[in-house]
């Protein structure tokens, strides 16, 4: 008799951008999917959530973009880089799927992804936590133990257990997944949501040792972001986080600092002390990792969500029978990530002057274009049913 109370083709741990998008694609392909997340439906996540073109293309492809726009997510039609006060603005060029970028709050984005996965047939359980993996005698993962959050536990069978459970991934720990490439650089960040700022699209500010960003998002608010090398986080923010935040805004642009001072802070400021990037072994017998669980880079290039969507797509393809299987998934992920990882490392190191930084941004733009083209071509060769 089976030890399992229920069986699924895939159990996905983590119901955010990586987990919910993987669930959506697998469920649409006809897999029986269980998605669990220990947090609540519609809760927030530490992120400034600016989406690059590849992410917006995938949201359009999955049919999730219209729901985000209907919930008041502003269309971003230009992006500006401001180097010590010197501004260059680019218009967002339309393509076949979208004519804008977006930065939906995670309370909005993650909820709509989960809703789409549920509509596609995935079973979704929040306030539910992975406790353990179940292995057979050969070492293959064949299921997992979940804590239902009401004092009960359940042991379920799974064709594959997927860890989409972020940087502190429990699936990675329980499966013994090792990190095989690590970055050195890390930036720290403090950000907050402000009401009453003009919408100028994405604005990225750069000064000596500090950067800042203005990101229009839902509810008529802007996410204002102040960053610095992680090793300076404690010194600049100790004692008075708001004063440190204002100091970084002012160092980047007195006009930004003045606008922020006149705007209403809608929630308390949030902080991230920084963590170097890594690539982690992302597959084994009966398990896989996706999103930050398998590959993380510093937020300096605002690319984690875009890459999480891309890798969810690659993983779903591998599970659906793409050549190379799970090993091919990891190899392709790493190949597609290499340039951006290296550029992110250099930007997050803060070891640049404005001329160096502009060169890095040109390289970044090229790498992003290559990634966006790769995503377009991947979408064109989907092996999974729409
Ligand atoms: C300060 C900051 C700013 C950022 N800004 C941007 C940006 O502007 N643009 C961008 O693209 N990216 C940005 N990123 C990166 C982006 O937020 C991440 O890449 C993205 O959140 C990764 O998504 P994920 O689904 O892999 O994991 P996560 O969002 O980390 O979600 C993991 C989920 O797993 C759940 N979980 C964990 N363990 C368990 C368990 N045992 N059982 C059940 N559930 C579990 C957690 O509750 C969580 O909901 C930023 C990151 C930071 C830190």
Same domain? For 325 and 245 the reply is no
Q: What is the mean pLDDT of the chain?
A: 95
Q: For CA atoms 237, 242, 247, 248, give the dihedral sign.
A: positive
Same domain? For 196 and 283 the reply is no
The reply to whether 96 falls in a domain is no
pLDDT for 299-325, tens place per residue? Answer: 999 999 999 999 999 999 999 998 899
The reply to whether 365 falls in a domain is yes
Count of domains for the chain: 2
Q: Distance from the CA of 233 to the center of ligand 1, in angstroms? A: 21
* Residues written for the chain: 386
Q: For residue 328, with 0-12 CB atoms within 10 Å meaning exposed, 13-18 middle and 19 or more buried, which class applies?
A: middle
Same domain? For 237 and 324 the reply is no
Q: Distance from the CA of 103 to the center of ligand 1, in angstroms? A: 15
Tell which of 217, 248, 272 closes a domain: 272
pLDDT for 267-298, tens place per residue? Answer: 999 999 999 999 999 999 999 999 999 999 99
Using pLDDT thresholds of 50, 70 and 90, give the confidence band for residue 383. Answer: very low
Q: Whose CA is nearest to atom 19 of ligand 1?
A: 304
Find the mean pLDDT for residues 12-32: 98
Q: Distance from the CA of 121 to the center of ligand 1, in angstroms? A: 23
| pLDDT at residue 385, as a whole number | 44
Instruction: Find the CATH number of the domain harbouring 163.
Output: 3.50.50.60
Q: Distance from the CA of 18 to the center of ligand 1, in angstroms? A: 8
Query: Are 368 and 52 contacting, i.e. CB atoms less than 8 angstroms apart?
Result: yes
Q: Distance from the CA of 213 to the center of ligand 1, in angstroms? A: 19
Q: Which atom of ligand 1 is nearest to the CA of 303?
A: 11
CA-nearest of 207, 180, 136 to 289 is 180
Q: Which atom of ligand 1 is nearest to the CA of 215?
A: 8
Range of the domain at 223: 187-272
The reply to whether 80 falls in a domain is no
pLDDT(40) > 90: yes
Same domain? For 173 and 60 the reply is yes
pLDDT(384) > 70: no
The reply to whether 369 falls in a domain is yes
Q: Whose CA is nearest to atom 15 of ligand 1?
A: 304
pTM: 0.96
The reply to whether 247 falls in a domain is yes
The reply to whether 161 falls in a domain is yes
Same domain? For 338 and 246 the reply is no
Q: Distance from the CA of 293 to the center of ligand 1, in angstroms? A: 9
Distance separating alpha carbons of residues 157 and 238, to the nearest angstrom:
48
Mutation test residue for ligand 1: of 126, 292, 313, the one with most atoms within 8 Å of CB:
292
Mutation test residue for ligand 1: of 166, 308, 337, the one with most atoms within 8 Å of CB:
166
Q: Which atom of ligand 1 is nearest to the CA of 45?
A: 29
Residue 8, helix vs strand vs coil? strand
Same domain? For 220 and 293 the reply is no
Same domain? For 17 and 59 the reply is yes
Same domain? For 360 and 280 the reply is yes
Report residues whose beta carbon is within 6 angstroms of any ligand 1 atom. Answer: 13-14, 16-19, 36-39, 45-50, 129-130, 164-166, 170, 189, 272, 291-293, 299, 302-306, 308
Phi, psi of 236 (to 5 degrees): -80, -35
Residue 375, helix vs strand vs coil? helix
Same domain? For 248 and 292 the reply is no
Cα-Cα-Cα-Cα dihedral of 311, 142, 116, 74, to 10°?
-40
Same domain? For 37 and 130 the reply is yes
Contacts of 193 (CB under 8 A, 6+ apart): 217, 219, 221, 222, 223, 224, 265, 266, 267
Q: Whose CA is nearest to atom 26 of ligand 1?
A: 291
Same domain? For 118 and 258 the reply is no
Find the mean pLDDT for residues 45-68: 95
Q: Which atom of ligand 1 is nearest to the CA of 290?
A: 26
pLDDT for 129-144, tens place per residue? Answer: 999 999 999 999 999 9
């Amino acid at each position: 008799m089976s030890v399992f109370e229920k069986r699924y083709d895939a159990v996905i741990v983590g119901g955010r951008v990586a987990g919910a998008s993987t669930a959506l694609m697998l469920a649409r392909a006809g897999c029986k999917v269980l998605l669990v997340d220990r947090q609540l439906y519609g809760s927030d996540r530490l992120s400034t959530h600016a989406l690059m073109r590849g992410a917006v293309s995938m949201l359009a492809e999955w049919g999730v973009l219209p729901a985000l726009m209907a919930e008041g997510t502003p269309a971003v039609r230009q992006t500006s880089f401001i180097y010590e006060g010197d501004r260059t603005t680019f218009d967002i060029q339309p393509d076949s799927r979208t004519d804008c970028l977006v930065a939906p709050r995670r309370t909005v984005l993650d909820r709509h992804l989960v809703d789409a996965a549920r509509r596609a047939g995935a079973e979704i359980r929040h306030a539910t936590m992975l406790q353990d993996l179940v292995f057979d005698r050969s070492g293959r993962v064949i299921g997992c133990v979940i804590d239902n959050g009401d004092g009960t536990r359940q042991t379920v069978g799974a064709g594959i257990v997927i860890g989409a459970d972020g940087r502190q991934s429990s699936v990675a720990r329980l499966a013994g997944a090792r990190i095989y490439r690590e970055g050195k650089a890390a930036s720290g960040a403090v950000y907050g949501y402000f009401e009453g700022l003009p919408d100028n699209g994405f604005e990225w500010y750069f000064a000596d040792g500090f950067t800042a960003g203005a990101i229009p998002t839902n509810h008529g608010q802007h996410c204002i972001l102040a960053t610095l090398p992680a090793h300076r986080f404690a010194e600049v923010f100790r004692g008075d986080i708001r004063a440190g935040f204002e100091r970084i805004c002012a160092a980047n642009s007195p006009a930004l600092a003045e606008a922020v001072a006149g705007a209403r802070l809608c929630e308390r400021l949030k902080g991230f002390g920084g963590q170097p990037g890594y690539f982690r072994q992302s597959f084994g017998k009966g398990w896989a990792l996706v999103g930050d669980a398998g590959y993380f880079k510093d937020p300096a290039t605002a690319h984690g969500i875009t890459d999480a969507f891309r890798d969810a797509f690659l993983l779903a393809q591998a599970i659906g029978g793409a050549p190379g299987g799970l090993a091919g998934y990891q190899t392709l992920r790493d190949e597609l990530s290499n340039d951006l990882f290296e550029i992110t490392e250099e930007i997050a190191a803060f070891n640049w002057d404005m001329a160096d930084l502009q060169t890095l941004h040109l390289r970044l733009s090229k790498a992003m274009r290559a990634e966006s083209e790769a995503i377009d071509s991947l979408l064109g060769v989907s092996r999974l049913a729409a």
